[in-house]
Structure 1
Amino acid sequence: MSLTKKQAAIVMAKKGCLDMLPLNLAVLPWGILCGSLAIQRDFSVLEALLMPMLVFAGAAQLVATELIANNTPLATILFTTFIISSRHFLYGLALRDKLKHQPLRWRLGLGFLLTDELFAFSGERKSLRGKLRLIYALFTGGSFYLSWVLWNIIGIIAGSYLPDLTTLGLDFAIAATFIALVIPNIINIPIAVTVVVAAILSVLFHLLHWQLDLVLASVLAMYAGYFTSRKIEKNKSRQINRENNL
């Protein structure tokens, strides 16, 4: 039995929410940590609530909270959060061709919801193509946004009545979430090289106390993956030429 447009849209909306559910639950400790940290750093309840609603970037939110609490100059806060969130610029470029023909309301909505998690869901070739896939992406990212705000609210309440939650190691949820996102996407040698180089260099640069360690490790890892891909392509071309000459 064929579905009407409205029924098909509802099905895709439900599917988007269900597919994102594991990640919505996985960031629960991370959200609680962000919310409680804001309260414990003397943010008002309104300020702590506005952070996840307007920023919607866990790592940037954590760092900004600490910098604001330490009375760091505004220019430093803006520059630091810009560097931390700069990968979202690359996400936007990667999805530009898929969204450039869509109305502004779709581009703005999905642009705001474009987290690491939503980008991982948008990697498939046919993603964001057509109205139904756009609805799927909207509800995938939207459910993650609502979950993130909800977990922060729980953290705000917990931070008001419980002792310092930052000592419980809840920040491991950050690493666990990214591991869950990265591992299924290691589908070829260049991607594997990129992941391994990024992991090794990020740890090495952190131990050396280098500034912008993650950014530098990410850039070098991307170059390593790119050159590996080029090397594999050249080897394939040489092999094909040899076979043609036989």
Structure 2
Amino acid sequence: MQPFVSSDNHTLCGKSENKFKLFRQGAMAVSPLCVAVIPWGLLAGSFAVDIGLDIFQSQALSAIVFAGSAQLVATGLINAGAGLATILITTLFITSRHLLYGLTMRNTISPLPLRWRLGLGFLLTDELFAVCGHQLPKTFNRWYALGAGLWFYICWNLATFVGIVAGKFIPNLDLLGLDFAIAATFIAIVIPTIKNISVLISILVALVLSVTLQAFNVEGGLMIASLAAMIVSYSYDKVFGKQKNKSGEDV
């Protein structure tokens, strides 16, 4: 004789299985980017040790700040003896793109409870935005996003820990060419977003200007290139977008 199982229990089990399935799908979707970011995490961990931070402080940097480019820049500034104000302002500019990510996903995230908004907000990185940032509110799922964001967070911190340990035993880890992973990761994130001419123009302007300004040792060249790219792309979209709307044809 089979034990009685209520339909409510079946419903709860079904919902739990569906949540875990979506969580796992999100983790799988971001896994290629997790692999690409491993050398980046190794550098972040080893740099933190090189500037004199202990193991706990080095790991806390990844666990709390959780921003690869900002961590690398901040550790470099600390090593150079920069003041706190300089470090904060620089990292603010570097991570300001997350404001744009948040604004882009605002309509999707705002209906969620506060705990979900705070959690996904903390986990919102370039990689999570690449996976979920362009999903429509109807197709967005919080458990899928949580799986992608949390799995990337775990992988980043594991890579950082390995870098911390390796930094103590492998000298000159920064000379092994691992920093190429930074460029490779952003290339992998950016290329799939090129879906119209304005985005392509923005990328080309940023690429040309950043390389040119770097060649001439212009301070703040990266920020200048970023702002110029946004302005040019926005201007193109405003001018030719209006023409498209009037003619009803692609420009």
TM-score by length of 2: 0.89
1:121 has 2:141 as partner: no
In the alignment, structure 1 segments of 5+ residues that lack a partner are: 242-246
Out of 135, 139, 149, the residue aligned to residue 157 of structure 2 is 149
1:101 has 2:101 as partner: no
How many Å apart are 1:139 and its aligned residue?
Answer: 1.0
Q: How does 1:59-138 map to 2 (within 5 A)?
A: 59-126=69-136, 133-138=141-146
From the superposition, tell whether residues 187 and 162 of structure 1 become closer, same or farther in structure 2 (CA, over 3 Å): same
1:6 corresponding residue in structure 2: 16
1:162 has 2:176 as partner: no
1:27 has 2:32 as partner: no
1:181 has 2:192 as partner: no
Distance 1:51 1:240 in 2: 51
From the superposition, tell whether residues 128 and 161 of structure 1 become closer, same or farther in structure 2 (CA, over 3 Å): farther
How many Å apart are 1:177 and its aligned residue?
Answer: 0.3
1:211 has 2:219 as partner: yes
How many Å apart are 1:33 and its aligned residue?
Answer: 0.8
How many Å apart are 1:128 and its aligned residue?
Answer: 7.9
1:17 has 2:27 as partner: yes
**Aligned-partner residue type, residue 220 of structure 2:** L
Q: For the aligned residues, what is the CA RMSD?
A: 1.9
From the superposition, tell whether residues 35 and 79 of structure 1 become closer, same or farther in structure 2 (CA, over 3 Å): same
- 1:144-180 Cα offsets, whole Å, 9 max, x none, are 0000000000001100111110111111100000000
Distance 2:103 2:82 in 1: 31
Check conservation: 2:128, 2:149, Cα contact below 8 A: yes
2:46 corresponding residue in structure 1: 36
**Aligned-partner residue type, residue 45 of structure 2:** G
1:197 corresponding residue in structure 2: 205
TM-score by length of 1: 0.91
Check conservation: 2:101, 2:133, Cα contact below 8 A: no
Counting matched residue pairs gives 238
Paired-residue identity, %: 45
Check conservation: 1:99, 1:128, Cα contact below 8 A: no
How many Å apart are 1:95 and its aligned residue?
Answer: 1.4
From the superposition, tell whether residues 94 and 161 of structure 1 become closer, same or farther in structure 2 (CA, over 3 Å): same
